Chains A and B, each alone.
Chain A
Amino acid sequence: MTGATMVTGADGYLGRRVVSTLLARTDDPLVLAVRAADDTELATKREWAATAFDAAPGRIRVVAADLRQPKPFVDVDPATVRRIVHTAAITRFNVDRDSARQVNLEGTAAVCDFAATCVNLDRYLVLSTLYVSGRHEGPVAEHRLDDRGFVNHYEWSKWAAEERVFGEYAHLPVSVLRLPTVIADDDSGRVTQYNAFHHTLRLFFYGLLGLVPGNPATPLSVTTAAFVSDAVAHLLDDRAPRGVFHVCADPDDTPALGAVIDAAFAVFESDDWFRRRRILRPIYCDEPAFDRLTSAARSMRQAVLSDVLGTVAPFGGQLYRPKTFQTDALRSAWPGCAAPKSIPLVTSTVSHLVRTRWGKTQQEAP
């Protein structure tokens, strides 16, 4: 396999879509780097890849690469690799600092070390998050960012990884793609990966949470996996400029949290079961109140609220820190780019969630 594109986290939510997109749009052979604890897990992941990408036998090779190892890519010949898309990460907002450091920071450094040995490397994309901006408020530019503090270890680790890339590995042909929250696979609103966005809405729909953390005016950037993989395919092209790109809608097209909640409730309220229960729209609460609620919920260990707040709360802090993400670099690198329209996307996504009762049924709601 020469001139290969290697995708880390290739069996992750975005990794899989990136692989599909590259299979469809290029003729490149692909190296799918996956975490596998042992041969059995690797065999299972190989079987999965053979089924998932059955249209491309011979073009893909699945290798085990645990980013917690000092040299994860011993099974890959660096000379064969022309492009790398690094998606692997621990993506839970409630990840502990040490695991985040190990995988998201040191793991990225390990990918960079490997990239530095790839003599034929043309392009190296690192998937990051808009929230490397941490506690920053106001406009966020598409360049290296200062440490303004972070609301969770995930954000910090992604920022620290970027710092490594911009510092020690600046000589690599690298681009950093900062992503917003991915809420659906595509414009249809289908959801196959559930994150804090979906979990929070689930609490509201089932009447389990009456408060929204955040300021209703805080912009909330959301997108689809299809848009992200499209962006990856464009920015991976040798002709695309390198740099930092905010892979999201323009600030003017980014809705406020309040508009997102209203759009979600408009969908909820069209559901007979929801309407009959007369669940009120939630109240926006200030940060100390939300922190108090989160700590109080811990004493209700058995409550659903406690469970879900554990995953939602680490992101809640962002909703008190309004910021907008500039997209000039993305627009100029990818002139035809059309980010999904946010409110229609929220509406189609929430409709899917309500129809399937958050994935519990593929049928219409009971």
Chain B
Amino acid sequence: MSAGWGRSPLSGNAFVGCLAYALGERRIDLATSAANGRLRSEPRDLAEAGFAVHHVCNPTTSAYDLARAATARIAAAGGLRDVDAIIYATALPTNGTVGDLDTARRTRDIAHLMDFPGSRLQVDFDLDGAVVVGLNQQACTGLLGSLHLARALLAIESDWRRVLCVTADRLPDGAMYEQAYNLISDGAAACVVSRQPAAFRIIAGHQITNGGLGLAGADEIVGAFFTYTHRVVVEALEKAGLTAGDLDWVVAQNANPAAWEVFARLLGVPESRVWLPSVARAGHVVSADTIINLQALVDSGRLRPGHRLALVAAGHGLNWQCAILQATEAVS
């Protein structure tokens, strides 16, 4: 049911840096989305929860376009050198292919289903030496899952240097943009996990999957939030040899901020240390939230070298993941 990455001899050898993200082009307020049938809750209820706008792709923009936009930012900063692997995570299985379902149906040729976005990214950015790994069963926790996986790959493949982690999701046309009382946005995030020092050192990570709640509805997801999120963080901290008191920041996903306040009390960290400043402007960007919020923390100037952070996310499946990071000198 749970798995994680404890303090191995290599634990000091994986770092996270080169954060980037991209959001759907259309920034839409709650009233407009409600009028267009994208919401289940009343706009005032979502507003009371802390949401304000969300980002929806133009009709012709794909999840892959978002992934490419985020990756292009890393490329522009020179972050794509020495990439030996790409981990491409999607929450929605439909975003795990850029293939054309209609063509596959018409031609009865399944090859059309296997046009992979990770492969496209590899060729579009000339990452010739990079292998591609798809990660598509961790829902909103996929990005954190890719950090764990990247760290493991670096531990196994002694000549690999850098792993590009990308997550991108765009909801299908006509889909509701609300999940478990959260306002959803289309978006992508990317980062690089490297053997060489970067902004954050990965101390530990932990994942819990509960397939028994695989078909959980919104109310059950809300119901399981506190117990499982608490457990995943506490167990991640145990693996890191830390306690909640050692955390400087909990970088959360963009779910109901009041729920995170309650969570902070349960965990025993001050509410002011639970960091999700982008809820109102970004919405819940599937598995990209933690990167968006981590970047905001860097930009805020409040992060200091040595600070310890827990990145936390919950998702369908049901999945919960937590990555414990430590800021390095590079953040200043």
Contact = CB atoms under 8 A, between A and B. Distances in A.
Interface of A: 203, 206-211, 276-283, 285-286, 288-289, 292-293, 295-296, 298-305
Given A208-B222, A210-B226, A277-B212, A301 B41 contact: yes
Contacts, number: 97
Given A210-B223, A211-B262, A283-B266, 6 more contacts: A278-B213, A279-B224, A280-B224, A286-B265, A299-B256, A300-B181
B220 A293 contact: no
Interface in B239-289: 256, 258-259, 261-262, 265-266
B223 A305 contact: yes
A279 B210 CA distance: 9
Contact of A276 (B212, B216, B230, B258): B212
A33 B89 CA distance: 68
Contact of A208 (B49, B223, B228, B231): B223
Contacts of A288: 265
Given A210-B227, A278-B1, A285 B262 contact: yes
B137 to A, nearest CB: 17
B220 A299 contact: no
Nearest to B1: A278
7 contacts: A280-B228, A283-B227, A289-B262, A296-B259, A300-B41, A300-B256, A301-B41
A291 B57 CA distance: 38
Contacts of A304: 219
B42 A207 contact: no
B218 A303 contact: yes
Interface of B: 1, 40-42, 45-46, 48-49, 181, 210, 212-213, 216, 218-220, 222-228, 230-231, 256, 258-259, 261-262, 265-266
B223 A207 contact: yes
A285 B265 contact: yes
Contacts of B224: 207, 210, 279-280
Contact of A292 (B49, B210, B230, B258): B258
Nearest to B229: A210
A140 B223 CA distance: 35
Interface centre among B40, B41, B46 (most CB of A within 10 A): B41
A276 B215 CA distance: 12
Given A276-B212, A292-B262, A299 B45 contact: yes
Nearest to B216: A207
Contact of A283 (B213, B222, B226): B226
Contacts of B258: 292-293, 295-296, 299
Contact of A303 (B1, B210, B219, B265): B219
Contacts of A279: 213, 223-224, 227
A211 B226 contact: yes
B262 A282 contact: no
Contact of B42 (A277, A286, A296, A301): A301
A207 B216 CA distance: 9
A282 B265 contact: no
Contact of B213 (A277, A286, A303): A277
- Most-contacted residue by chain B among A206, A277, A300 (CB, 10 A): A300
Contacts of B181: 299-300, 302-303
Given A278-B210, A300-B41, A293 B266 contact: no
